[in-house]
Amino acid sequence: MSTLNPDKVTKALETPFIREMAEITQHMWRNGWDERNGGNVSYLLDEEEVAKYLDIHQVIRVIEPAFPVHELAGKYFIVTGSGKYFKNVLQDPAGNLGVLRVTPDGSKLELLWGLENDAKPTSELPSHFMSHIERLKVDPDHRVVIHNHATHVLAMTFIHDLDEAKFTKTLWEMCTECIVVFPDGIGIIPWMVPGSSEIGRATAEKMKEYHSVIWPQHGIFGTGTTVDEAFGLIETIEKAAQIYMLVAHHEIKQRITERELSDLAAAFGVTPRPGILSL
């Protein structure tokens, strides 16, 4: 890493959305979910918010996306960089993050801040953009997509049936809060080579119905209206997967019953995905 200007770093971290990205990537790295350059985050920003801190009329360079994103034309994002280590973001935000604007015709990306030294946006940007497009159709308040390699979720995909209903029910049974946090369940795609438009399309297809999608033997995607919500979703799923991995090889003497799961959902005013509980 090149020598950094402390004043420049301090100024960057005074920008709320830059600081939020720097802090959440640090949390995920410390949790062990983003080894080396694993994981990526994208955060949809309001133009008014960006304009408070950055010169939106000053384009540093133009980046060619993997495909046109007409549905996101004119929108602003802060994203993690390709090949960047999450452990370094807090110390060097401009070298590891970038603020992008999609051009009005949706054909290009304009870099407004960051991604210094010709760094590129995350290689998973196709998956992120496709997921943003589908989640915005379902929820206009949607803002965040997080991908990481949550350890116990990844481990669980080696030993548990990858049927979405069965996987979801197992996770619901692990922690009382789970059915409340993700009543829509968990989407799962087949193993695929990462970084491609194909895996992006498969993930986005699941995002039509789910807030979170698991990539078997790889990791998880979580979405939300805020960074906290998206992170908290993954955090809850990971905790449930951790408990499963702790108890999977032991005799289970008691568990949360289907009736209790149904009562939980009713008490918190959420509707469980149909077809998972048999009540």
- Residues annotated as catalytic are 124
Tell me if 243 sits within 8 A of 174, measured CB to CB: yes
Beta bridge partners of 99: 78, 113
Q: For the sheet containing 97-102, what is the strand order?
A: 61-63, 109-114, 97-102, 76-80, 40-45, 144-148, 219-224, 212-215, 187-188
Give the whole-angstrom CA distance, residue 196 versus residue 222.
18
d(CA 262, CA 69): 40
By DSSP bridging, strand 212-215 and strand 187-188 are parallel
| H helix intervals, 14-163 | 16-30, 47-53, 93-96, 125-138, 151-159
Q: Which amino acid is at 228?
A: D
- Joined together, the tokens standing for residue 151 give 């350890």
3-state secondary structure of 61: strand
Could you tell me the end-to-end alpha-carbon distance of the chain, in angstroms, rounded to an integer?
Answer: 57
Helix (H) or strand (E) holding 44: strand 40-45
- What distance separates the 2 farthest-apart alpha carbons in the chain? 63
What residue ranges in 90-249 does DSSP mark as E strands? 97-102, 109-114, 144-148, 187-188, 212-215, 219-224
- Overall size of the chain counted in residues: 279
